[in-house]
Amino acid sequence: MFSLFFLGAIFDESAKKDEEVFRMAVSDLNQNDEILQTEKITISVTFVDGNNPFQAVQEGRCILISEKYEFKAS
């Protein structure tokens, strides 16, 4: 039986390379049984407009609310 952990990431829309590195790092962790023996990480990535600093705050709040709902529903 696996435990699932949810990570949310918010990147500036110009940070496509950072998002790719983030996804690769999570994939590497999920594939390494020495690090995560019975756990798996799921992710959600959102891109925001770098000119709107409040969008990141709003998106982060949505991720937290979504994560809380999914946790209760499981």
Q: How many CA atoms lie within 13 A of 60 on its CB side?
A: 8
Cα–Cα dist 60/3, whole Å = 23
Query: 59: Cβ–Cβ under 8 A, 6 or more apart, which residues?
Result: 10, 46, 48
pLDDT at residue 73 in the model:
44
Cα–Cα dist 54/61, whole Å = 11
Mean pLDDT of 55-63: 73
| 17 or 72: which leads in pLDDT | 17
Torsion of CA 47, 51, 54, 55, to 10 degrees: -30
* Nearest Cα residue to 60 out of 49, 48, 52: 48
| 8 or 35: which leads in pLDDT | 35
pLDDT digits (tens, 9 = 90+) for 9-48: 888 888 889 999 999 999 999 999 998 888 898 888 888 8
